């Protein structure tokens, strides 16, 4: 972790240049501790454990390890535990936030202070299709590719897989910052 101007901390991710990418497209990896500094979410709503292959402002991958100890399994469903679809979407949206915040953290003109304050909101879910149940013990692999900016909004393609099977895929629109 590195200190930002003003004494606050910002993530110091592992970096690498992926094959086939130019030097401007360095990919980063973020641990769960890095993610906690990047997002305002906390347990039980912090849905991603790790992010990798993050090209700031462009795309990224992440992991959500699904545990039987998660609170929603007590009621969804007690005798047939499945991860609620809305939480799969939330995990994908949080990966989007990491990709977006990574762009802010990596920029030379990154503002001093808490990078999680720049995380916006989920505005829309489109064409989301759920193709596989997600159960305790599964490892949900997440992918997000940011599209064009539309004013203060951004369209994003997202996908979640388990063991190479698509669990959910669709499009999100997110705000690129918080509004009052």
Question: How many Å apart are CA 54 and CA 105, to the nearest integer?
Answer: 12
The span from the CA of 132 to the CA of 160, in Å, is 10
Ranges of H-type helices in the chain? 32-38, 85-106
| Predicted structure pTM score | 0.85
38 touches 48 (CB < 8 A): no
pLDDT at 115: 84
User: Is the confidence at residue 180, as pLDDT, over 60?
Assistant: no
Cβ neighbors of 149 (< 8 A, separation 6 or more) are 176
CATH architecture under which domain 2-175 falls = Roll (3.10)
Mean pLDDT, rounded, of the chain: 87
pLDDT bucket at 46, cuts 50 / 70 / 90 = very high
pLDDT at residue 111 in the model: 58
Q: What is the pLDDT of residues 137-179, one digit of tens each?
A: 999 999 999 999 889 999 999 999 999 999 999 999 999 877 6
Among the listed residues 153, 131, 148, 152, the one whose alpha carbon sits nearest the alpha carbon of residue 140: 131
- Looking at residues 79-100, what average pLDDT do you find? 97
Query: Which letter does DSSP use for residue 10 in this model?
Result: E
- 21, 36, 50, 76: the catalytic one is 76
Q: Does residue 76 have an active-site annotation?
A: yes
**Contact present, 101 and 142 (Cβ < 8 Å):** no
User: Domain spans of the chain?
Assistant: 2-175
Encode pLDDT of 107-142 as tens digits. Answer: 755 556 788 888 989 999 999 999 999 999 999 999
């Amino acid at each position: 972790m590195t200190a930002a101007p003003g004494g606050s901390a910002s993530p110091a991710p592992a970096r690498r240049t992926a094959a086939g990418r130019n030097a401007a497209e360095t990919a980063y990896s973020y641990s769960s501790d890095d993610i906690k500094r990047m997002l305002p979410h906390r347990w039980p709503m912090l849905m991603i454990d790790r992010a990798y292959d993050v090209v700031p402002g462009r795309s990224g991958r992440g992991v959500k390890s699904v545990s039987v100890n998660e609170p929603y399994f007590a009621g969804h469903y007690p005798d047939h535990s499945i991860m609620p679809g809305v939480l799969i979407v939330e995990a994908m949206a949080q990966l989007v936030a990491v990709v977006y915040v990574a762009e802010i953290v990596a920029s030379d003109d990154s503002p001093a202070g808490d990078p999680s304050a720049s995380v916006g909101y989920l505005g829309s879910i489109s064409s989301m299709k759920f193709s596989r149940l997600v159960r305790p013990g599964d490892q949900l692999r997440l992918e997000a590719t940011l599209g064009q900016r539309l004013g203060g909004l951004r369209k994003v393609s997202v996908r979640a897989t388990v063991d190479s099977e698509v669990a959910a895929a669709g499009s999100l629109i997110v705000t690129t910052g918080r509004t009052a």
